[in-house]
Amino acid sequence: MQGVSKVYPDGTVGVQELDLTFAAGELTVLVGPSGCGKTTTMKMINRIIEPSTGRILLGEDDVTRVDPNLLRRRIGYVIQNVGLFPHQDVRANVGTVPRLLGWDKKRTRERVDELLAVVGLDPATFGRRYPHQLSGGQRQRAGVARALAADPTVLLMDEPFSAVDPVVRERLQTEFLRIQDTVRKTIVFVTHDIEEAVRLGDRIAVMSEGGKVEQFASPAELLGRPASPFVADFVGSDRGLKRLAVTGIDAADLEHPPVVRVDDDLAAARAAMQGAGARWAVVLGPDDELHGWISQERAEGSGTVGAAGKRMEAWVPHDATLKTAFAQMLQLEAGWVAVLDGSRFLGVLTPESLHAALRRSVEGTAPETAGAALTTVG
Ligand SMILES: Nc1ncnc2c1ncn2[C@@H]1O[C@H](COP(=O)(O)OP(=O)(O)OP(=O)(O)O)[C@@H](O)[C@H]1O
């Protein structure tokens, strides 16, 4: 979108001089308070609303020069409460655009069944049902399948998950992320819910009244470095906590306590802890798999580490987020969690290293300015 404005006939400015680039294959979220122009922005992309000025390019094409009907077949559209046709069954609903495109019956049917399976609706069970015979979550899934039917390059989603309860919403979000992982559409997603924005977005545009973009950034950057008091206020005072959910574990974040083996004797364990100046050591099996841990106290006397050590349940895979690691720590009342690659031990996270990892994530996403470099030192 280049210099796009929308002034409604009554003089209301929906959006003003908007410049935004949506990267191919990414999910971009438009988020902001009610009335800030999110829906106006989205609906100009498929020309449900005509822009007053400016240009909107889809690849090479200026969308204002494309026949709107042809345009909308290239752009899937999912709205709140789905907008499924009430008098058509699920199969007919999902097959809408392929039919418009003149696909034959067999091809349409195959595509519909494939998509229903993708969104987790068994075609045999749900294909012949009408929208009122589905739950809110199932209707939403059918809506997503319909939007994907003709394999559009772009998907517009306007608060698609806001009409269902929080538990169903979270499940739909998880499923949707899985679908996006396989289809990799260019998605513009409108929500007023910052949690949803942070969870789903590759990039997030925070908008304020008049369609002004206050910040356009990755979730981690938005939470770590809000560009203005407006953004800081909008993302919330618990943004530090929210950031845990969007920050992955980096090898450099891990701590490396002394390591002993299950069949080592206790004298060796004592020596390892003394050598490292540590009060405890991680106990590993022969293939570096996590067995547990042993404290200085339990390492007194004679015998093997395996017999004296304690089992350890607190672990996370290396591709988990800091939030998962922190949740494990709290749930198991553990002072640390092990980070594993498959079953292989990589290192541990403690509250201190979690905190350092959060700080690192902010510094890592910051532009390379002299100021940022200075704060990193020390
Ligand atoms: N047809 C219209 N005529 C006049 N003003 C309009 C029209 N449609 C929208 N507006 C105004 O344009 C501004 C932006 O509206 P828009 O629907 O884009 O906001 P939004 O961010 O999507 O809000 P919400 O989160 O409440 O859905 C608002 O002030 C709204 O009142």
Query: What is the set of domains in the chain, with CATH numbers?
Result: 2-237 (3.40.50.300), 251-357 (3.10.580.10)
User: What is the atom index within ligand 1 of the atom nearest the CA of 15?
Assistant: 14
What pLDDT, on a 0 to 100 scale, did the predictor assign at position 370? 33
Give the ipTM of the model, two decimals please: 0.94
Residue 368 has pLDDT above 50, yes or no: no
**Residue written as token pair 């806001």:** 162
For the segment 147-205, what is each residue's pLDDT rounded down to a tens digit?
A: 888 788 899 998 888 777 777 788 778 888 888 888 889 999 999 888 889 889 999 99
Say if ligand 1 is within 6 A of residue 38 CB. yes
CB neighbour class for 236 (10 Å; exposed up to 12, middle 13-18, buried from 19): middle
Computed over every residue of the chain, the mean pLDDT equals 87
161 alpha carbon – ligand 1 mean position (Å) = 20
Residue 308 has pLDDT above 80, yes or no: yes
Q: How many residues does the chain have?
A: 378
Residue 374 has pLDDT above 50, yes or no: no
Extract the tokens encoding 133.
Answer: 């015979």
Looking at 120-124, 329-333, 355-359, which range is the least confident one?
Answer: 355-359
158 alpha carbon – ligand 1 mean position (Å) = 13
- Distance, in Å, from the CA atom of 343 to the CA atom of 150, rounded to the nearest integer, reads 42
316 alpha carbon – ligand 1 mean position (Å) = 44
Nearest to 222 by CA among 30, 369, 41, 42: 30
Say if ligand 1 is within 6 A of residue 8 CB. yes
Indicate the helix (H) or strand (E) that contains 296: none
Name 232's Cβ contacts closer than 8 Å, sequence gap at least 6.
226, 239
Say if ligand 1 is within 6 A of residue 12 CB. yes
What pLDDT, on a 0 to 100 scale, did the predictor assign at position 83? 74
* Centroid of chain to Cα 327: 18
25 alpha carbon – ligand 1 mean position (Å) = 28
Mutation to probe ligand 1, out of 12, 16, 79, 162 (largest number of atoms < 8 A from CB): 12
Name 359's Cβ contacts closer than 8 Å, sequence gap at least 6.
none
8 alpha carbon – ligand 1 mean position (Å) = 9
39 alpha carbon – ligand 1 mean position (Å) = 7
- DSSP for 211-274, written as a single string: TEEEEEE-HHHHHHS-SSHHHHHHH-TTHHHHHHTT-B--GGG-B---EEETTSBHHHHHHHHH
| CA 246 to each of CA 152, 186, 195, 341: distance values in angstroms, whole numbers, following the listed order | 28, 20, 11, 20
For the segment 86-131, what is each residue's pLDDT rounded down to a tens digit?
A: 899 999 999 988 887 788 999 999 989 988 988 888 999 999 999 9
User: What is the atom index within ligand 1 of the atom nearest the CA of 13?
Assistant: 12
